[in-house]
Amino acid sequence: MRDLRIAAIQISSGASVAANLARAGELVRAAAAGGAKMVLLPEYFAHLADGGSAAVAETFASAEADPERQPVQAALQRWARENPLWLVAGAMPLNQRPDGSAVDAGRVRSACLVYDDRGQCRARYDKVHLFDVEVEDAARSYRESAGIEAGDSLQVVETPWGRLGLSICFDLRFPELYRELAARGAEILLVPSAFTHVTGSAHWLTLLRARAIENGCFVVAADQCGQHSPRRRTWGHSVILDPWGDVLAEAGEEETVLAADLHGKRLAEIRRRMPLLDMRRLP
């Protein structure tokens, strides 16, 4: 792995796609000005209100499926090309699967797209684990599966600095996904998220540190923050961790650009001293 300056964007997205894109673009440019060569946006960076209703998600996805429109994808391509940097676009609803087939009417995929510094889409990961839970907050119940079709494959992406393992938010609670990404060669695990304030305050950093430590990987987690609607509040506290679980940078609960330098030598040394991936035993 080569050294990389990476940034995580922490944003408080709302119901206006145009306003969200304007703010995200501003923060991406700030990250580039700070020397970042790769930027991670959070989940639902382009739209987040009351969890993103199925109807709103489908409307959003329909616009993105139109080659003459695609306002969000066009913005992402432009930001990556003009800054220039690699841009990992958290997650947004798309109504086509990676193979081009249409998702059933009324449903979408939650997709994370990776753009290189020429604005070309290099990879796509569709969220595998859907957030169907009860939470003691104003929303009380979350049912992503009501409007989202789960993904069915993992993605490890080659970059000029090393290999990225892609995931989205609720995936974080399933360690076997990250172990498989590491087994496939991932060196940097990315976790774009919109963690609720209740679950984030309880589990966010603990889970992220565990994924870094048990896999010997850098972890970069970009979270939503703040009060998005009367029923939706997210945790923030985006964080960048090294493979020992040490915090390289951590945000609070406000919008910000979080950046850190990832050193390949640090990764190699930790994996040499504790080669966990070579020591696994499953009796």
Exposed e or buried b per residue across 201-230, where buried means at least 16 C-beta atoms within 10 angstroms of its C-beta: eeebbebbbbbbbbbbbbbbbbbbbbebee
Nearest 5°: CA angle at 201, between 200 and 205? 70
User: Quick one: angle between helices 17-33 and 71-82, nearest 10?
Assistant: 10
Q: Which residues contact 249 (CB under 8 A, 6 or more apart)?
A: 239, 240, 258, 259, 260
Among this protein's residues, is 225 annotated catalytic? no
Nearest to residue 175, comparing CAs of 207, 148, 219? 207
Could you say which of 64, 112, 144, 169 is catalytic?
Answer: 169
What single-letter amino acid sits at 80? Answer: A
Catalytic residue among 37, 64, 112, 127: 127
Catalytic residue among 43, 144, 149, 253: 43
Structure tokens at 169: 């938010």
Gap between the Cα atoms of 182 and 277, Å rounded? 8
The single residue listed with the structure tokens 């961790």 is 241
Active site residue 265: no
Residues classed as catalytic: 43, 127, 169
